[in-house]
Amino acid sequence: MSVAADERHGDRGGRGILSTYGRDGLIQIVLIANSVIMLFPVVIMVFSGFKTNMEIFQAPFRIPDFTDIGNFVTMATQTNFLRYLLNSLLVTGTALLATGILGIMAAYALARYTFAGASFILLFFMSGLMLPLKLAVIPLFILFRDLGILDSYWALIAIYTAMGLPSTVFILTGFIRTLPSELEDAARMDGASEARILWQIMLPLCRPALVIAGIYNLVPIWNDFFFPLVFIQTDALKTLPQGLTTFIGEYSTDYGAMFAGLTLAAAPITLLYIALSRQFINGMTSGAVK
């Protein structure tokens, strides 16, 4: 017993600094190795976009001549890339706006007023958090056909709005409940209408929560491939991920051009992520971190 205790103490005194440095060194090696594994493929993708087939084959890891933007010019001018980008912006933007507006309406009602059935309605929204909507794609297909919005932006906007609503209501309701109601009460005393209070007082206060909810929904909506695959046929209406499959198909023997296309497609969200990495990480893990 005492021997063991002595050994432990001896241990601590004997290798204290050394073992700490050794352990931290090992941790650094793990982290650096992992970051290399994470970034190396992305870097190779970008590099290859500046190369010809021959260069990719002969010197796959060499740093390319970055002034050689032929592949990118081909992508931007010979394909519908810019159209796809515009479609993605339009669909994602509209869906996020609709989600935000509908979300704050529901959240404000649920968080600030007490009425019969409020908790049931909250539960109703929550149930949408766990349901894999992909598995309801057949009825959605038939519904959109009946509504006459199959193969149009509206099909995607509708499904993405519905997809984003539960998490938005969840995040905003939780947030509004933590806000003190003095400001609203004061405004009410001054005779402001309920709509004005929502628009001019709640909305600005909710901005941080709206950003979290927005990012939480932005990434899956912007990146979605499944719903456009089922709902969109017309090439001019395709979103970026779906459009990628078209131009990869067209350029299937030109490796440089394919890598250039992938790089261009990855660029918008990557740049946004680098600029707002903290918000992205907080936003995307917000559903999982309580």
Considering only residues 166 to 205 of the shown chain, the ones binding another protein according to CB under 8 A are 166, 169, 194-195, 198
CB 51 within 8 A of CB 64: yes
Q: Which residue has the tokens 């982290």?
A: 31
Minimum CB distance to another protein smaller for 30 or for 183: 30
Task: Give, as ranges, the residues between 8 and 67 that touch another protein (CB under 8 A).
Answer: 8, 11-12, 23-24, 27-28, 30-32, 34-35, 37-39, 41-42, 44-45, 48, 53, 56-57, 60-61
Question: Token pair for residue 67?
Answer: 């002034």
CA dist 70 and 72 (Å) reads: 5
CB of residue 67 vs another protein: minimum separation in angstroms?
A: 23
- Nearest residue to 129 (alpha-carbon basis) of 94, 169, 101, 159: 169
Q: Is 161 exposed, middle or buried (0-12, 13-18, 19+ CB in 10 A)?
A: buried
Query: If we measure between CA atoms, which residue out of 253, 257, 221, 254 comes closest to residue 240?
Result: 221
Eight-state DSSP code of residue 201: I
- The least distance separating another protein from the CB of residue 123, rounded to whole angstroms, comes to 12
Please work out the total of residues on this chain that contact another protein, with binding judged by CB under 8 A. Answer: 92
Q: Is 231 in the site for another protein (CB under 8 A)?
A: no
Question: Interaction with another protein in 85-124: which residues (CB under 8 A)?
Answer: 102-103, 105-106, 108-110, 113, 115, 121, 124
Closest CA to 224 of 135, 92, 127: 92
Q: How far is the CB of 119 from another protein (least distance, A)?
A: 13
- Which of 171, 210, 213, 284 is the binder for another protein (CB under 8 A)? 284
Length of the chain: 290
Residue 130 interacting with another protein (CB under 8 A)? yes
Nearer to another protein, 114 or 178 (CB): 114
Task: Among 1, 139, 182, 190, indicate the residue that binds another protein (CB under 8 A).
Answer: 139
